[in-house]
Structure 1
Amino acid sequence: MPTSAFDPIRLGPLTLRNRFIKSATNEGMARGGVPSRALVEHHRGMAAGGVGMTTVAYCAISADGRTFVDQVQLKPEFLPHLRALTDAVHREGAAACAQITHGGAFTFVPELSTRRPLSASGGFNAVGAISGRYLRSAMTPDDMQRVTQQFVDGACLAREAGFDAVEIHMGHGYLLSQFLSPAYNKRRDAYGGDATARARFPAQVLRRVLDAVGADLAVTCKIGVTEGFRRGGTADDASAIAQVLEREGAHLLVLSGGMNVEAPWAIFGSSMPREAAEIAENAIVRFASKVLRLVEPKIEFKPLYLREHSLKVRAAVRMPLAYLGGAKSLAGIEQVMADGFDAVVMGRALIHDPALVSKFASGAVSESGCTACNRCVVSMYTPAGTHCVLNAAPDVALNATPAVAR
């Protein structure tokens, strides 16, 4: 009999009350890197609504690791604000996960400590057409050692802040994904080549993080099962990468897809509406959205849109895997659990209704009311931060107030 998504699950040292995980979806609720009261309430609401774990998106491990200025940065001075968040989640009975991330060449911050943003390989930087940084630099062994230590330090700070897990972001075109991607990684040393070789540096980061916090925290990784464009990684690549991460000891892999620059539509399984770009106050985002519309294929949302790719990864490894991608109904969730996935990760459906898991459990609803319009995706760049536009507008003041008053 298939495992139910309502059953508990053990991930390393952590046991979750059920197998529903709120995905890391950039919240836009950390002005200047300071977690806001809105961020606390966002995740408290997810916990109160019944998820087993909620994931705080894009916790940058360094100043250079940020994509935008207004993102959580794992710094000691922000510990009280992060502790307020984890305490609020714990009071509602759920676990809190920090997604630890470095953007690499995918960055729009005004100043970097290096002349060019770092990546797996040097050369033309596609995102630089938007940011004005047209070239990227290949990381040296010293760069890798320094950034690895920053991941370790970030994980240790997350532990100090009360998080129960960390998710190492290896997808969507950020730094570790740039090593995994055949389109980005053209190295001719031990860190380039086939998918197994391209996974060497991300696996080293995982190993060091596990050694540092793996006895106390669940250590998970987010990878892409398809990059969604012609020269990008495939499900076969993802299967080989998953085998490397399984051997290294990851407690769970979250299976996602798509790339922020080359194929954002593959992340969401549907096209971005024209009006989505207009609500963004960030000029860079407005411009990028308009450019992407010129090349974006017209995609109609369909439930479980990453299932075919994810099943290939499921067949390649025995370790715990979490399905992500269009699970918005009880029938869909039952399908992925029957497929052998160990947990289900949801984003837009929970942004639409944070109480969805509790409503599933009670039988009040069997399907989310989320329309996959994707306007929530761009709402992170508005004063209120990420929210569902089908619901009442959130209190903007909460996003302008630090989580802990000074």
Structure 2
Amino acid sequence: MAGIEQQLPQAFSPFTIGPLTLRNRFIKAATNEGMSPDGVPSRQLVRFHAGMAAGGVGLTTVAYCAVSSDGCTLPNQILLDSATLPHLRALTDAVHAEGGAVSAQITHGGCFTFTKRPEGRPLSASGGFNKIGLMSGQYLKREMSLADMRRVAADFAAGARLAREAGFDAVEIHMGHGYLLSQFISPLYNKRRDEYGGSLANRMRFPRQVLRQVLEAVGEELAVICKYSITDGVRGGNSIEDGVAIARELEAEGAHLLVLSAGMNAESITTMFGSSFPPENRSVVTNPVMKAAMFVQSLVEKPILFRELYLLEHARKVRAAVDIPSSLLNARRRPNLRKRRLRRQKPCAPCRAEVTIPGSSGKAVRRANC
């Protein structure tokens, strides 16, 4: 490690995100580890993130902490409530004991769900047919009312306060990949005709309200990070020009760091990974519906080969447009390219964990994403 530190001193120097100072510029990105049965973080998850900190990561991100029960997309995701508080405290204590900082990714899945909902149609920016809900029998989605939006925004704020109480150093609001806030931002999902639909400024109105309430909830104690898709990667979705405008909106609202990703889970997953879903990953999936869907996708989609630093050009446009720091995700595989970026003294999030995807045989699947 000493040799690497001498070669890349800036990468190992402290880095400030709002009120939080990290020991270095390495961030473990959020990945759905699938280690929270019944919504409660397991000891395995605690060891996982403590291990990240022990390995020297400056900030490790606990993925998909749902702000309400109707915000979960899978049954084994963390639910931010009083029952999980002591378990989350054990996790943050373990990370801090290893000298690292820890962030909670807070989100709501909207209509993106694989879980049957007894309480009715899943929420979204607009109502109608729910393509992603076919696997769980959620064929229709419901347009959120103003009362729904007030409730969900309050849930985000409450989740942020609980994260603060649990000892987290930061919260990351997930606004990308087709989850609820992304469903408002993207014209693919947002067909509203009120002040929350139409122009990008209108589509950003609800996500900005959520960000504002989260900032108010945590005060000056926690860093507030926003993760979003700088392009939807599909016709009719947000372009990179829209992604730059989104960055300006989030900066104006007070976000401390932007985590730049791309793509939509249900529309353009190849954009998220920069390549087609690896055929070898299908072999470890046991869920027959998921396996069939992956096979059909392989037949109808033209294979896309991985291209190193495939988001870098887009990320540079965002970086030039705002003054707050940004972190680029999911863009490198070869260590020499990773080192090259670090030599340019950029904050970096190269850490993609090998995780167990729910519904698989238990083997590790490398390219998890959240």
TM-score over 0.5 for the pair: yes
Query: Residues of 2 paired with 1:197 and 1:165: CA distance?
Result: 27
* Partner amino acid, structure 2, of 1:133: Q
* Structure 2 counterpart of 1:345: 349
Query: Residues of 1 paired with 2:227 and 2:50: CA distance?
Result: 22
Query: Residues of 2 paired with 1:34 and 1:228: CA distance?
Result: 34
Check the 8 A contact 1:3/1:337 in 2, yes or no.
Answer: no
Check the 8 A contact 1:130/1:288 in 2, yes or no.
Answer: no
| Structure 1 stretch displaced more, 164-173 or 40-49 | 40-49
Q: Quote how far apart the aligned CAs of 1:79 are.
A: 1.3
Instruction: Return closer, same or farther for 1:334/1:99 CA change in 2, 3 Å cut-off.
Output: same
1:64 to 58, 61, 70: 70
| 1:11-90 mapped onto 2 (5 Å cutoff) | 11-90=17-96
Report the count of equivalent residues: 360
2:215 aligned with 1:210:
yes
What do the CA deviations read for 1:49-83 (whole angstroms, capped 9, x no partner)? 11110001101111100001111111111112111
Check the 8 A contact 1:307/1:325 in 2, yes or no.
Answer: no
1:96 to 91, 102, 126: 102
Instruction: Return closer, same or farther for 1:316/1:112 CA change in 2, 3 Å cut-off.
Output: farther
Instruction: Return closer, same or farther for 1:95/1:383 CA change in 2, 3 Å cut-off.
Output: farther
2:228 aligned with 1:223:
yes
RMSD (CA atoms): 2.1
* Partner amino acid, structure 1, of 2:83: E
| Local SS of the residue matching 1:44 | helix
* Structure 1 counterpart of 2:259: 254
* Structure 2 counterpart of 1:191: 196
2:337 aligned with 1:332:
yes
Q: Quote how far apart the aligned CAs of 1:191 are.
A: 1.1
| Structure 1 stretch displaced more, 267-276 or 99-108 | 267-276
Instruction: Return closer, same or farther for 1:333/1:137 CA change in 2, 3 Å cut-off.
Output: same
* Partner amino acid, structure 2, of 1:22: K
Query: Residues of 2 paired with 1:126 and 1:226: CA distance?
Result: 20
* Structure 2 counterpart of 1:381: 359
* Partner amino acid, structure 2, of 1:143: D
Percent identity over the alignment is 56
Instruction: Return closer, same or farther for 1:380/1:306 CA change in 2, 3 Å cut-off.
Output: farther
TM-score calculated relative to the size of structure 1 = 0.83
2:283 aligned with 1:278:
yes
What do the CA deviations read for 1:327-371 (whole angstroms, capped 9, x no partner)? 345543455457784x211243xx25xxxxxxxxxxxxxxxxxxx
* Structure 2 counterpart of 1:111: 117
Check the 8 A contact 1:98/1:158 in 2, yes or no.
Answer: yes
Query: Residues of 2 paired with 1:327 and 1:214: CA distance?
Result: 35
Query: Residues of 1 paired with 2:181 and 2:364: CA distance?
Result: 25
Q: Quote how far apart the aligned CAs of 1:173 are.
A: 0.4
| Structure 1 stretch displaced more, 212-221 or 4-13 | 4-13
Query: Residues of 2 paired with 1:123 and 1:388: CA distance?
Result: 34
Query: Residues of 2 paired with 1:268 and 1:154: CA distance?
Result: 29
Q: Quote how far apart the aligned CAs of 1:205 are.
A: 0.2
Instruction: Return closer, same or farther for 1:347/1:130 CA change in 2, 3 Å cut-off.
Output: farther
* Partner amino acid, structure 2, of 1:56: V
| Local SS of the residue matching 2:163 | helix
Query: Residues of 2 paired with 1:4 and 1:388: CA distance?
Result: 28
* Partner amino acid, structure 1, of 2:58: G
Query: Residues of 2 paired with 1:46 and 1:172: CA distance?
Result: 24
| Local SS of the residue matching 1:314 | helix
* Structure 2 counterpart of 1:357: none
Query: Residues of 2 paired with 1:52 and 1:277: CA distance?
Result: 33
* Structure 2 counterpart of 1:164: 169
Q: Quote how far apart the aligned CAs of 1:142 are.
A: 0.5
Q: Quote how far apart the aligned CAs of 1:34 are.
A: 1.5
Check the 8 A contact 1:271/1:299 in 2, yes or no.
Answer: yes
* Structure 1 counterpart of 2:4: none
Check the 8 A contact 1:225/1:257 in 2, yes or no.
Answer: yes
Query: Residues of 2 paired with 1:317 and 1:149: CA distance?
Result: 28
Instruction: Return closer, same or farther for 1:335/1:182 CA change in 2, 3 Å cut-off.
Output: farther
